Structure 1
Amino acid sequence: MTATVTAVSSNGVYSFTKPNRDSIRLLAGLGVEGDVHAGVTVKHRSRVAQDPSQLNLRQVHLIHEELFTEVGEKGFDVAPGELGENITTSGIHLLGLPVGTRLHIGGQAVVEVTGLRNPCRQIEDFRAGLLKQVVGRGEDGKVVRKAGVMAVVVEGGEVRPGDAIRAELPAGPHRALDVV
């Protein structure tokens, strides 16, 4: 199966959901042009409250479309952009990628995966019961987070639905993703 972009979303104001767009432009070192979370330093409100000078390791949020199918089977109707992601993917196991994986998207854009999104209370406010579907415990008792990955923009460029995605793994040893 070929990995592709199924939707792109952005929002210039703080809002949990992000409207779908025909395309988004990624800006190197900043994130999605015009998106409220773009910038060199943190923009997520909880991170700004902790330390506004932190580097922004959450410039671009990617979620795998397969998650929507999984939660749909449990009665939760979720569409691209509704969980606040910028890029919805298909055919790539985002959660299994190691830290530092570079995703080449479309003809020019490259993002580097920095870690997992930590699902927050806003998911529960969006759909009651959904938070339990995107964060839980594995058989080993460890917390499992399924709400996508975060990345920084290495090379800018236009990203559109239908664009191919190619993963370039970092040199080993690989580090598993953790919350950023």
Structure 2
Amino acid sequence: MPAPRVVAVSRSPRHAFSKTGEDAIRLLPGLGVEGDAHAGATVQHRSRVAVDPTRPNLRQVHLIHAELHAELATAGFAVAYGELGENITTTGIDLLALPTGTRLRIGDAEIEVTGLRNPCAQIEQFRQGLLAQVVYRDAQGQLVRKAGVMGVVLAGGIIRPGDNIEAVLPPLPHRALERV
């Protein structure tokens, strides 16, 4: 597996499903990606704002592994980086296997992984049949979510494609990621 690194960065000032690729993004501590509609100390996703707009934003930054894009392409879904709504596309790191509280150091920035992204019906509007590729039940009946992880910004900084990623695991016992 290649060394963990960033392959693409994206953001969108609008609450749109997909985000636009950028040369670099700036992370703001406690807020998220500068200029992104989902940045903020409290929840920014419209469905969550409708329930309780005062809850903390545990979804400031969305990360997806490029390996998922390759897997989707094999299944017949050509999806460009950022089109699934991620801010940071990675390679060489199994994001879905990280425990809750893992810290990802990327350049000067640091992100704490808070949980799994729970994709919604918007993914079906983007590409019909895609939801079944990223959320399904395995042979044991367990729900599998593969649409990336969410995190909060602990330390700000600029992130660019090519930046290395260092994962710092939290103290034991580790807690498996759950949807946030």
The alignment's TM-score, normalised by the length of structure 2, stands at: 0.98
Deviations 1:55-82 (A, max 9, x none): 0000000000000111111100011000
Corresponding residue number in structure 2 for 1:109? 109
Deviations 1:86-124 (A, max 9, x none): 000000000000000000012x00000000000110111
Runs of 4+ in 1 over 3 A off after TM superposition: none
Alpha-carbon separation, structure 1, partners of 2:140 and 2:111:
31
The alignment's TM-score, normalised by the length of structure 1, stands at: 0.98
Gapped regions of structure 2 (runs ≥ 5): none
Alignment of 1:9-28 (within 5 A): 9-28=10-29
* Larger deviation, residues 135-144 vs 168-177: 135-144
Aligned length: 179
Corresponding residue number in structure 1 for 2:59? 58
Corresponding residue number in structure 2 for 1:161? 161
Alpha-carbon separation, structure 1, partners of 2:119 and 2:57:
17
Alpha-carbon separation, structure 1, partners of 2:59 and 2:33:
11
Gapped regions of structure 1 (runs ≥ 5): none
Q: 1:130: Cα distance to partner?
A: 0.4
Q: 1:13: Cα distance to partner?
A: 1.0
Alpha-carbon separation, structure 2, partners of 1:140 and 1:176:
17
Measured on the aligned residues, the alpha-carbon RMSD in Å equals: 0.5
Alignment of 1:99-138 (within 5 A): 99-106=100-107, 108-138=108-138
Q: 1:139: Cα distance to partner?
A: 1.8
